Structure 1
Amino acid sequence: MPRLTAASLASASGQVRGFSYDRSKVTPGIVHLGIGAFHRAHMAVYVDDILATDASWGIVGASLRRPDTKEALAPQDCLYTVAVRDASGTACRVIGSILDVLDANTQRQRLIEMMADPAIRIVSLTVTEKGYCHDPATGELDPDHPDIVHDLGHPADPVSAPGIIVRALQLRRAAGVAPFTVLSCDNLPANGRTTARIVSRFAELRDPALGQHVRDNVAFPGTMVDRIVPATTDADREEVRALTGLDDAWPIVTEPFTQWVVEDHFPQGRPAFEAAGAQLVADVEPFELMKLRMLNGSHSTMAYLGYLGGYQYVSEAIADPIIHQLIHGLMTEEAMPTLPMPRADLERYRDQLLERFANPALKHRTWQIAMDGSQKLPQRLLGTIRDRLEKGQGIQRLALSVAAWMRYVTGIDEQGNLIDVKDPLAARLRAIADAAGRDAERLASGLLEVSEVFSADLRADPVFRTVVIAHLRRLLADGALATARAIR
């Protein structure tokens, strides 16, 4: 079977939709840092829809940590398949908006030179929460992060996303080139403002004048992104081969739904994102907060309780009436009252999410969502908890989510099997758990002292501590599903 390339796509006889523009005329206008599955299922598809009318917005992607994306896509002319899957079947489309993929480990200077090129008007990011080298509990740059320490000591050879961005902005400033717009597409609270704070602070540590330049001249529009993108499996690759007649080393599987809300602040211009279905707004915060607290908060809750309850996939977990009732209640009773949007809009969004979670064709693993929980909890759950505590409102379901994370990071499941906990703090969390044993109060107290996750106000809140410990005690004694069933 032929490998997916521009030539093989032109003669493909399978069920695949190609792009409609002349790719040889597309030129780069965007550099994207962190070219993982989500970007290729989301922003790259929006850009692909636009290139037929404006060919100046091609994407050059960069992998900051591993070369695997480059190794998969380079032999394919950087083409890849997006397989949209629901209960009715799978539809395949080849995306051509990514013109090149750079490996920052071996091509860092080329990446920075590309970002310094005046043709690049947007630098976008999906580097996950941990890629910002910040303290998730405060949203501030962590000056003691090893990558930040390295970059401050080696400013011309940075390894972190903030360091690479600032180095490129410095070169543009020296050359008299206007700065690019920095567009975060990660699930951070107020992702535009958070990224601005992190990048400008790093620039200030490098040089106070450079920090002032970033604050005064660089745009950081906020975004809300939404599309469920499970990890690609070998079975997915086989299905794509069968449907398209082409061998794609790294296709992307996703759901039909996609959403992108973007603050319209691009001083150097932007693609006509709205023509591809994006929503351009003055303030993205209400949409972002809705998504973080309803979708992402529910996802993390299902990940920990579902995994502990024996469910491999989200669709299996939400099909359990116990978990379905819990998630419905978490969104309706605890998350929605904290959101500044019309109740009817929130109810529609809730019902849409429950339908999406139940998509049996989308094999989204609970273990995958459970990764990097120490980075995700402050954004997805703790902000909602803090808002409700300030108003004297209940937090039963949200606190159960936190307790389930605490139970999960012990690294031992309910059958006594090891859990492969993927988290930047995994070793530290496991050491706390091992020292506490099955003493719920000692375990919770130890984990609450992890300042990277829990801020001082939550650690000191007696209501929060009491409810979390009670849930954790029951999780250890009775298991995830029995504990969830007890909440009404």
Structure 2
Amino acid sequence: MTRLCASTLARLPQSVRRPAYDRARLAPGIVHLGLGAFARAHLAEYTEDALERRFDAWGILGASLKRPDQRDRLKPQDGLYTLLKRAPEGPGLRVIGAVLDVLVAPEDPVALLKRLIAPETRIVSLTVTEKGYCHDPATGRLDPAHPDIRHDLEKPDAPRSAVGILVAGLRLRRKEGLGPFTALCCDNLPANGHVLRGLACDFAALSDDRLSSWIEANGAFPATMVDRIVPATTEADIAEVATLIGLDDSAPVIGEPFRQWAIEDVFAAGRPAWDQVGAQMVSEVAPFEFMKLRMLNGAHSSLAYLGYLAGHETVAEASGDAVLARFLAGLWAEIAPTVPAPQGVALADYAKALLARFQNPAIRHRTWQIAMDGSQKLPQRLLGTIRDRLKAGAPIDHLALGVAAWMRYVTGIDEKGASIDVRDPLAAELQRRAGAAGRNAEALMRNLTGIEAIFGRDLPGEERFTRPVAAHLAALFDRGARATAASLG
């Protein structure tokens, strides 16, 4: 089958939306670190819409920080790929043209740094996941002992971490007398712009206090809140897209119709017209971010662990299980009192919309995929809510079950005795501690809460937390995830 590329766009069926501007005139203005599926289904589509609304030099150059896979898929397609939006009423298809090229940082770090100091580069955006920031998720501060950070301090002209790359670019721009680019974090981190600014300044201060001060005084690090469910693309998805568009596309992305993007409107050198295509440009992102982090992400993670253990492959299957749907309702009832509603938002309606999104049968978002990197996600998604509930003297039964389900999951053995592929930066440590405890729920809870980077110093000694977690964990071992969730009513 003929491959999707610039010369084959005209062969697309009329039902497939394609770039409505002259791509030959498109110049790069954004460098995006970590051009994975989410960025291509979210930032790139918003940028595509903005280019159609008000054309300007806002093409995207992607940068892969580890592997060449994305470059190898996109380059033969001239950067083009299909966004397949899955809705209950049927699929929607669109070819995205905003991505112009993809660099591979490990192959040629100098080429990436040259792009960062090019005057036309006005925004450097990031989706590198929580673990890509080389920080302590409990404190939000840089981990100077992280191997990638140590490497980048020793080899500043060949950085491999996202923070090291950003600071190297800013250092060279300062040296060249250029103003800074805007560093736009699009990952699910609390106060992500503030955190990224702190990490950049912390990193710079390890070698150059004056650079750190310059970044602090001149840098632009807008906070953002991003939202769209984007499952991992499967071989079946690739085959379906080829059938629907009549061309071979090696790099399609799958997404739900819903999308949301709240952005603090603080940019150093302009931005695309995202505000004209649905993005919310706000003075304060925190209320939106906080709501999403606790109500969507907290529920997503809890459902992923329980759903996986209960034998559900996808979020739609798990949330369609009446027992787990009741669990979600109880979980949201515990979370909502800790969330100040953003202006114009009713939290009960938001929870109802979340359940409908989770239950969209057209989206196959795997529970295993969401379960990844739990040690990095738990502090923000569940433990902060738990601390607020404990401070208020409120029960945490459903929240504690979410934590217990994570603990049961990271033992690496499911309810049928099969191995679980636990993907986590702390996987070896988690499995060492879990192995030492065996099926002793109390011992497992103590061993895992002893990881200070996850649970801090307060929660391991808080009986109102440890008691229900241990009890739920024992029930998960004895009766399984579904029966344990059902026992909460």
Q: Give the TM bin, normalised by the shorter chain.
A: over 0.9
Partners of 1:340 and 1:425 lie apart in 2 by 32
Shift in Å, 1:11 = 2.7
Q: Classify the secondary structure of the residue corresponding to 1:453.
A: helix
Partners of 2:416 and 2:11 lie apart in 1 by 52
The residue aligned with 1:232 is 233
The residue aligned with 2:70 is 69
- CA deviation string 1:191-247 (max 9, x = no partner): 111111111100111211111111111011100000000011111111111110010
Partners of 1:13 and 1:382 lie apart in 2 by 49
The residue aligned with 1:92 is 93
Contact 2:109 2:157 in 1 (8 A): no
Shift in Å, 1:441 = 0.8
Shift in Å, 1:344 = 5.8
Task: Give 2:121's aligned amino acid.
Answer: I
The residue aligned with 2:337 is 337
- CA deviation string 1:368-408 (max 9, x = no partner): 10011111111111111111111111111111100000000
The residue aligned with 1:56 is 57
Shift in Å, 1:65 = 1.2
- CA deviation string 1:399-433 (max 9, x = no partner): 11000000000000001000011111111111111
- CA deviation string 1:39-72 (max 9, x = no partner): 0000000001111322211110111011111110
Contact 1:136 1:452 in 2 (8 A): yes
The residue aligned with 1:448 is 449
Partners of 2:299 and 2:320 lie apart in 1 by 14
Q: Classify the secondary structure of the residue corresponding to 2:302.
A: helix
The residue aligned with 1:82 is 83
Please give the root-mean-square deviation of Cα atoms over the aligned residues, in Å: 1.1
Partners of 1:67 and 1:443 lie apart in 2 by 39
Task: Give 2:325's aligned amino acid.
Answer: H
**Which structure 2 residues correspond to residues 292-331 of structure 1 after superposition, within 5 A?**
292-331=293-332
Unaligned runs of 5+ in 2: none
The residue aligned with 1:46 is 46
Unaligned runs of 5+ in 1: none
Task: Give 1:361's aligned amino acid.
Answer: A
Range moving further from structure 2, 279-288 or 390-399: 390-399
Contact 1:14 1:243 in 2 (8 A): no
Task: Give 2:434's aligned amino acid.
Answer: A
Shift in Å, 1:452 = 2.0
Partners of 2:388 and 2:212 lie apart in 1 by 32
Contact 1:314 1:364 in 2 (8 A): yes
Q: TM-score under structure 1 normalisation?
A: 0.98
Partners of 1:435 and 1:330 lie apart in 2 by 31
Task: Give 1:194's aligned amino acid.
Answer: V
The residue aligned with 2:386 is 385
Partners of 1:345 and 1:222 lie apart in 2 by 23
1:435 has 2:436 as partner: yes
Contact 2:430 2:448 in 1 (8 A): yes
Shift in Å, 1:91 = 1.2
- CA deviation string 1:308-355 (max 9, x = no partner): 001001111011111001111111x21111111169621111111100
Shift in Å, 1:14 = 6.2
Shift in Å, 1:462 = 1.7
The residue aligned with 2:244 is 243
Q: Classify the secondary structure of the residue corresponding to 1:452.
A: helix
Partners of 1:130 and 1:396 lie apart in 2 by 28
Q: Evaluate the alpha carbon distance shift between residue 116 and residue 6 of structure 1 in structure 2; reply closer, same or farther with a 3 A threshold.
A: same
Q: Classify the secondary structure of the residue corresponding to 2:101.
A: strand
Aligned length: 487
Range moving further from structure 2, 130-139 or 52-61: 52-61
Identity over aligned pairs, percent: 56
The residue aligned with 1:6 is 6
**Which structure 2 residues correspond to residues 412-423 of structure 1 after superposition, within 5 A?**
412-423=413-424
**Which structure 2 residues correspond to residues 255-274 of structure 1 after superposition, within 5 A?**
255-274=256-275
Task: Give 2:231's aligned amino acid.
Answer: P
Q: Classify the secondary structure of the residue corresponding to 1:9.
A: helix
Contact 1:14 1:245 in 2 (8 A): no
Contact 1:5 1:77 in 2 (8 A): yes
The residue aligned with 1:33 is 33
Q: TM-score under structure 2 normalisation?
A: 0.98
Task: Give 1:330's aligned amino acid.
Answer: L
Shift in Å, 1:22 = 0.2
